[in-house]
Amino acid sequence: MRLHTGEKPYKCVTCDAAFAQKPNLQTHMRLHTGEKPYKCRHMRLHTGEKPYKCVTCDAACAQKPNLQTHMRLHTGEKPYKCVTCDAAFAQTPNLQRHMRLHTGEKPYKCKPYKCVTCDAACAQKPNLQRHMRLHTGEKPYKCVTCDAAFAQTPNLQRHMRIHT
């Protein structure tokens, strides 16, 4: 009934806050005491623990859904399909990025990262770093089974399927 009357009889002794219900005051008091009675559900992100291990490679994840997404690299599963063309992707963000080809959407207005070798420009620094490998010939992604090496991770991932 106090919600309708506006009465707030539960007063904080530390500050001027007042509440209509006692549980709300108790929750508020934790701001002053620093008490944290609830365990964080994503605690592994804080501790760095990664209990979900890939059975195919050395990858490990803090959360089970991340491992399930990772496993698609090995299985080749691509459940996210483009409705405009035949393209398919293992992860939603990759489909979303692909869809911009069809819509013409350009979420990055400027391209501040300029290549010193050619006229290429990128909106994000990692993209320029990947582009630079075209000029340097660097291939940092090595196959653990054979001597193949690649400039980009997706090319190595596609290659790895020949070994399974």
Which fold does the domain 45-103 belong to in CATH?
Double Stranded RNA Binding Domain (3.30.160)
| Structure confidence at residue 1 (pLDDT) | 55
CA–CA distance, 89 with 99 (Å, rounded to integer)? 11
Question: Quick one: 33 exposed, middle or buried, by C-beta within 10 A (0-12, 13-18, 19+)?
Answer: exposed
Whether the CB-CB separation of 94 and 80 falls below 8 Å is answered with yes
Each residue of 8-61: pLDDT tens digit? 999 999 898 888 889 898 988 888 888 777 666 677 777 788 999 999 999 999
Topology of domain 113-163, CATH:
Double Stranded RNA Binding Domain (3.30.160)
What residue spans define the domains of the chain? 2-33, 45-103, 113-163
Rounded Cα distance between 99 and 103, Å, is: 6
Condensed to tens digits (0 to 9), the pLDDT of residues 119-137 reads 899 888 999 999 999 999 9
Which CATH number is 2-33's, of 1.10.1200.10, 3.30.160.60, 3.90.280.10, 3.40.50.300? 3.30.160.60
